[in-house]
């Protein structure tokens, strides 16, 4: 039973022991689980791995303001609180 916290890099990839770099940008946690399981099976590491992926933190969405404005730059899009 191995549990790891792995951060997705700025380029959208994660680095896993045995598997190396995996591009996960744009994938859901479930899609990442399936990809890791597939890679483990393909590389003959584990035939039936129990893989669980959980999102612990997200930088959120941002938008940029450019041009002749008072304060250009990238700003966070607030998350509505329902």
pLDDT of residue 35: 92
What pLDDT, on a 0 to 100 scale, did the predictor assign at position 78?
Answer: 79
Q: 17-50: per-residue pLDDT in tens?
A: 888 999 998 888 899 899 999 988 888 877 888 8
What percentage of residues in the chain have a pLDDT greater than 70? 96
How far is it, in rounded angstroms, from Cα 37 to Cα 54? Answer: 15
Region 5-16 average pLDDT: 86
Report the mean per-residue pLDDT for the chain. Answer: 84
Task: Give the pTM.
Answer: 0.66
User: What's the CA gap between 14 and 1, in Å, rounded?
Assistant: 20
């Amino acid at each position: 039973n191995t549990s790891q916290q792995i951060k997705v890099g700025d380029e959208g990839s994660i680095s896993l022991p045995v598997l190396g770099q995996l591009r996960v940008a744009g994938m859901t946690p479930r899609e990442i689980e399936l990809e890791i399981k597939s890679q483990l099976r393909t590389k003959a590491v584990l035939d039936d791995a129990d893989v669980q992926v959980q999102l612990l933190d997200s930088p959120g969405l941002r938008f940029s303001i450019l041009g002749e404005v008072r304060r250009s730059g990238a700003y966070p899009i607030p998350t509505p609180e329902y």
